[in-house]
Amino acid sequence: MVANINLPRILRVGAGASKTLAATLTELSLSRPLIVTDAFMVQAGYCTVLVEQLDEAGFGHGVFGGCVPDPTTDSLEEALSVLRAGDYDCVIGLGGGSSMDTAKAVAVMALLDGEMSHYKVPHKIDEGLPIIAIPTTAGTGSEVTSVAIITDTKTREKMLCMGLGLMPVAALVDYEWTLTMPYRLTADTGIDSLCHALEAYVSRKANPFTDSIALTAMRSIFQNIRTACEQPDNVEARAAMMLGATQGGMAFANSSVTLIHGMSRPIGALYHVPHGLSNAMLLPEITAWSVHHAPGRYAHCARTMGMASEADSDAVAGDKLVAALRQLNVDLSVPSPAEYGIVEDDWKASLELMAEQALASGSPANNPRVPTAEEIVALYRTVYS
Ligand SMILES: [Fe+2]
């Protein structure tokens, strides 16, 4: 099997990486960036850190600060009108997954005619303005993936858009942005990263390249997530989480996610549960359902994360993995859908639709145990309370 691996051309990782923005642009022969971010990053002054650098370097620049959670084609149009009103040669995505998705979509639509919906999967978007990704959460891994998700305002569909045009040309991975992240955001985005690594490793599309980075990522995320939540300014934990998030992104982007992400997206779309949190709600029970269908792989994950020892059989290690993931949810106060406030009748009424959407995403087919629609419905029932 030939593994097909796509990555940014430039990756700078560590404290101060975002301070190399001007130098990175120069290296890429770029000089007129539009920064795409959200209102908080602008109002709290975070964006100024980049703007000052660009001013100092004498680069013309603009800022679009209107990114919203779960970006829509309407919010994308606003950003595009700002881009088209200027003479920009690249797009800087600053923020979490939503800002990054908006930045990516703006960069490709700058060169394409028509609407974003024309270019959703299975279309492959291969062109676009260069994207420089500066993630501020740890995280979606979006800085190293060729994917963006934009909701069609007309149909409410969460459109998956893919292609090399959406791959950042450079990613500046600087954990210092994450030192002020609150507890819940740290926990949810951290579990999202853990899911990326775990799903990439057990995926039917796993390959030797993604295996090694997935294992490294899951170990550092699992061993640091509690500390990062409890001690927000612990630089060792924050650095490990940020690197783990980028590695988790590299892993799933070059293998795939599986049933957890497949079932998570419909929960986000219907009930507006943050992406990482809906993954967290599913992680232990989906793993419990899948673990005996790839016992060696799951056992290796458990041993890598320090949940089981070499002396444990694969079956025992798999059970310890599930127990440790359940405990992690308890420790990080992850609510069930019921505890989150989703009404039981609504949940029950949407089971078939969510199962249909989960299957349609294709991700469940990469799971070690491939579910039927009825089995997905049963799993949604299991995790509810
Ligand atoms: Fe994710």
Amino acid code (one letter) for 44: A
Would the pLDDT of 1 be above 90? Answer: no
Would the pLDDT of 102 be above 80? Answer: yes
* Ligand 1 centroid to residue 196 C-alpha, Å: 6
* Ligand 1 centroid to residue 307 C-alpha, Å: 23
Distance CA 274, CA 123 (A): 27
* Ligand 1 centroid to residue 192 C-alpha, Å: 5
* Ligand 1 centroid to residue 140 C-alpha, Å: 5
Strands of the sheet containing 90-95, edge to edge, are 10-13, 170-173, 131-135, 90-95, 33-38, 62-67
DSSP 382: H
320-363 pLDDT, tens digit per residue, is 999 999 999 999 999 999 999 999 999 999 999 999 999 988 99
* Ligand 1 centroid to residue 133 C-alpha, Å: 17
* Ligand 1 centroid to residue 292 C-alpha, Å: 24
Class of residue 333 by CB neighbours under 10 A (exposed 0-12, middle 13-18, buried 19+): exposed
* Ligand 1 centroid to residue 253 C-alpha, Å: 10
* Ligand 1 centroid to residue 119 C-alpha, Å: 21
* Ligand 1 centroid to residue 261 C-alpha, Å: 7
* Ligand 1 centroid to residue 38 C-alpha, Å: 20
* Ligand 1 centroid to residue 60 C-alpha, Å: 34
* Ligand 1 centroid to residue 30 C-alpha, Å: 30
Confidence band, pLDDT 50/70/90 cuts, at residue 70: confident
131-161 pLDDT, tens digit per residue, is 999 999 998 999 999 999 998 888 878 888 9
Distance CA 344, CA 353 (A): 15
* Ligand 1 centroid to residue 265 C-alpha, Å: 9
Would the pLDDT of 27 be above 90? Answer: yes
The pairing of beta strand 158-162 with beta strand 147-151: antiparallel
**Predicted local distance difference test score (pLDDT) of residue 349:** 97
Amino acid code (one letter) for 72: T
Percentage of the chain beyond pLDDT 70 is 100
- The residue-averaged pLDDT of 304-324 equals 98
* Ligand 1 centroid to residue 193 C-alpha, Å: 7
* Ligand 1 centroid to residue 84 C-alpha, Å: 30
Q: Residue 304: which of 326, 280, 331, 324 has the closest Cα?
A: 324
* Ligand 1 centroid to residue 207 C-alpha, Å: 19
* Ligand 1 centroid to residue 311 C-alpha, Å: 33
| DSSP per position, 13-34 | ESTTGGGGHHHHHHHTT---EE
* Ligand 1 centroid to residue 54 C-alpha, Å: 31
172-222 pLDDT, tens digit per residue, is 999 999 999 999 999 999 999 999 999 999 999 999 999 999 999 999 999
**Dihedral-angle region of residue 333 (phi above 0 means left; psi in -120 to 50 means alpha; beta otherwise):** left
Which residues make beta-bridge pairs with 170?
10, 132
* Ligand 1 centroid to residue 81 C-alpha, Å: 29
Dihedral sign for Cα 300, 303, 308, 310, please: positive
* Ligand 1 centroid to residue 27 C-alpha, Å: 31
* Ligand 1 centroid to residue 101 C-alpha, Å: 12
* Ligand 1 centroid to residue 277 C-alpha, Å: 10
* Ligand 1 centroid to residue 146 C-alpha, Å: 13
Distance CA 164, CA 87 (A): 23
Q: Residue 93: which of 175, 37, 158 has the closest Cα?
A: 37
